[in-house]
Amino acid sequence: MNKISLVILSVILAGTASFAQARDARQPDTVVELFTSQGCSSCPPADAIMGKLVQNPDVLGLTLSVTYWDYIGWPDTFADPQNDARQTQYRDQLNARYVYTPQMVIAGQNHFVGSNKHQLEENLHRFKGHAKSLKLNWRFSGNHIIIDLPAHTGGGAIWQLDLDDKNDVKIRRGENRGKSVSYHNVVRKIQLLKQWDGDKQTLKLDLAELSALGREKCALLIQQGDFGPILAALVIDI
């Protein structure tokens, strides 16, 4: 084997080793979803709260940017109509009058203004442990993670959310013009993996595929119905 081949092989093996060492997964106690917008002047305080919240390993914090403030003059760089649709479904599920930002939805069961620290603390206490209502088991195999779900009466929906760990944005126009804001666990894609009938299930995710797309994490949410209470969650570091 020549020197060039040895160098290439070393790089491949080093990359494979780093990928394997970086992998980790955990089942958090609580899930908090923040609906926010770079074009909303009320949102940066809630975004800052999310930055602290994600440091707690017992909490899965998710940032979902919506599109409906883009018309003010600054199109949100992470906004996605999927996030709008998810928030609208929560509005209907939770009998809210309207959608708004910043909005936090906790456990799929309650909502409040995302900058309200007191409400956040109350809800974290109230819903602690909800995301472990179902005990998940998982293992890594090659470039995949395999997740076992126990049987559960009624089943639900299994969602995959692809995440960026952190993004810093310099906002140049609109209500937040001139501000630099950090966003954490930014949802870049939502997909319904399957409707679950409640029988024992085994899921298999390709982590190499997600890594190739530039994603740093992904999360699984198992929700009663489609947008009901969150029964279990798993966050995977890629």
**Residue 1 pLDDT:** 52
pLDDT surpassing 50 at residue 10: no
Cα→Cα distances 22→8, 35, 139, Å: 21, 29, 14
Structural domain that includes position 54: 25-237
Please list the alpha-helical segments (H only) found in 29-114: 44-53, 81-93
Is residue 83 packed enough to be buried (19+ CB in 10 Å), middle (13-18) or exposed (0-12)? buried
How do residues 95-135 score in pLDDT, each as one tens digit?
A: 999 999 999 999 999 999 999 999 999 999 999 999 999 99
Within-domain flag for 37: yes
The verdict on residue 11 lying in a domain is no
pLDDT score at 11? 38
Q: Where are the beta strands (DSSP E) in 43-151?
A: 59-65, 103-106, 110-113, 137-141, 144-149
> How much of the chain, in percent, has pLDDT values that exceed 70?
91
Q: What is the pTM of this model?
A: 0.89
Residue 4, in any domain of the structure: no
Higher pLDDT, 234 or 18: 234
Q: Does 2 map to a domain? A: no
Alpha carbons within 13 A on the beta-carbon side of 129: 2
Task: Report the CATH number at residue 100.
Answer: 3.40.30.10
Q: What are the C-alpha distances in Å from 154 to residues 70, 158, 223?
A: 39, 13, 11
Q: Is residue 67 part of a domain?
A: yes
Which residues are 234's β-sheet partners?
Answer: 220
Bridging pattern class, strands 156-170 and 180-196 = antiparallel
Instruction: Please count the structural domains in the chain.
Output: 1
Per the CB < 8 A criterion, the answer to whether 218 and 25 are in contact is no
Q: Is residue 6 part of a domain?
A: no
Count of CB atoms within 10 A of residue 176's CB? 22
Residue 16 within a domain? no
Within a domain: residue 156? yes
Q: What does the mean pLDDT of the chain come to?
A: 91
